[in-house]
């Protein structure tokens, strides 16, 4: 399967097929278009839940790896858990660093831009 090939939409259940077609305004997308659409976006598409997304991703798993897009559905439970724990550690480290930066900036009397303020919720 090449990136420019049409996505094999006929292999999917009708509910998922309809969701994909609706997302691409009635046209069949290429394999690359489906592969590069983020999971977070697919999950906002009507009739596209986690199990539907897993079925969709199974058709593009090899291509996603080829173009450097990570695919969580291809991980074992242990790999997924390990990656989640690693990411959580990274988030804690970044949050700690951000607090240090904020403190130093406040001591210098520098006001953070508004989008930095929202990062406090991490």
Structure tokens at 88: 């959580």
Do 62 and 87 share a structural domain?
no
Do 79 and 66 share a structural domain?
no
Domain count, the chain: 2
Q: Where are the alpha helices (DSSP H) in the chain?
A: 14-23, 31-36, 39-42, 50-58, 61-66, 77-107, 114-117
In 3D, which of 46, 91, 39, 82 has the Cα closest to residue 64? 39
Instruction: Write out pLDDT tens, residues 23-55.
Output: 999 999 998 898 888 888 999 999 999 889 888
Residue 113 lies in a domain: yes
The model's pTM: 0.54
Instruction: Write out pLDDT tens, residues 3-27.
Output: 788 888 998 999 999 999 999 999 9
Residue 103 lies in a domain: yes
Q: pLDDT value at position 28?
A: 94
Do 47 and 87 share a structural domain?
no
Domain housing 85: 75-121
Do 106 and 85 share a structural domain?
yes
Helix axis angle, 50-58 to 14-23, nearest 10°: 80
Instruction: Write out pLDDT tens, residues 52-103.
Output: 988 888 877 666 666 666 667 666 778 788 888 998 999 999 989 988 988 8
Asked if 55 and 16 count as a contact pair (C-beta separation under 8 A), the reply is: yes
């Amino acid at each position: 399967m090449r990136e420019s090939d049409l996505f094999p939409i006929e292999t999917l259940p009708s509910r998922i097929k309809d969701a994909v077609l609706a997302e691409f305004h009635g046209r069949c997308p290429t394999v690359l278009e489906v592969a590069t659409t983020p999971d977070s976006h697919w999950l906002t598409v009507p009739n596209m839940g986690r199990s539907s997304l897993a079925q969709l991703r199974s058709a593009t798993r090899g291509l996603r790896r080829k173009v450097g897009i990570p695919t969580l559905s291809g991980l074992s439970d242990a790999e997924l858990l390990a990656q989640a724990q690693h990411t959580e550690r990274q988030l804690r480290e970044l949050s700690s660093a951000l607090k240090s930066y904020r403190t130093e900036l406040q001591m210098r009397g520098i006001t953070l831009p508004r989008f930095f303020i929202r990062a406090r919720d991490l």
